[in-house]
């Protein structure tokens, strides 16, 4: 039997928002790298994310290990973007006192039993 050296594609795709996903799944590169860095094996990642192919997980981990600095920059940029969006959302929608505001709104609204009785 003869084995041939081949060049295989890394199963990573970038979606319209610039998010890198594994294969044709919705699972992100961030997710696989995070699980791997938390000590999960490729098999454990495959069990946790059944849409992923085990060979794809190994390929992605290999890609990460060979290009760790570039991937780390990408992951840091994603974390910074997420933090920025979180801050913007908190500025637009003040989370403080939300329970009280919702309870006050509910108290002002007519109870459903009153609506049913008047119909």
Is residue 43 assigned to a domain?
Answer: yes
- Look up the domain containing 38 and give its range: 12-108
Is residue 27 assigned to a domain?
Answer: yes
Q: How far is CA 111 from the centre of its chain?
A: 39
Residues 32-42 have pLDDT tens digits of 999 999 999 99
User: What predicted TM-score, i.e. pTM, was given to this entire model?
Assistant: 0.75
Look at the block and give the residue holding tokens 């992100």.
Answer: 28
Q: What's the domain count of the chain? A: 1
CATH of the domain at 16: 1.10.10.10
Residues 28-70 have pLDDT tens digits of 999 999 999 999 999 999 999 999 999 999 999 999 999 999 9
CA 39 to CA 2: how far, in whole Å? 36
């Amino acid at each position: 039997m003869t084995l041939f050296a081949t060049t295989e594609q890394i199963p990573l795709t970038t979606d319209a928002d610039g998010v890198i996903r594994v294969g044709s799944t919705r699972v992100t590169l961030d997710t696989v790298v995070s699980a791997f860095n938390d000590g999960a094996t490729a098999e454990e990642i495959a069990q946790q994310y059944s849409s992923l192919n085990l060979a794809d997980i190994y390929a992605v981990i290999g890609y990460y290990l060979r290009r760790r600095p570039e991937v780390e920059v990408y992951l840091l940029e994603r974390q910074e973007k997420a933090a920025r969006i979180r801050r913007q959302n908190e500025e637009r929608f003040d989370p403080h006192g939300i329970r009280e505001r919702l309870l006050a709104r509910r108290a002002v609204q007519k109870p459903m039993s009153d609506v049913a009785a008047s119909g």
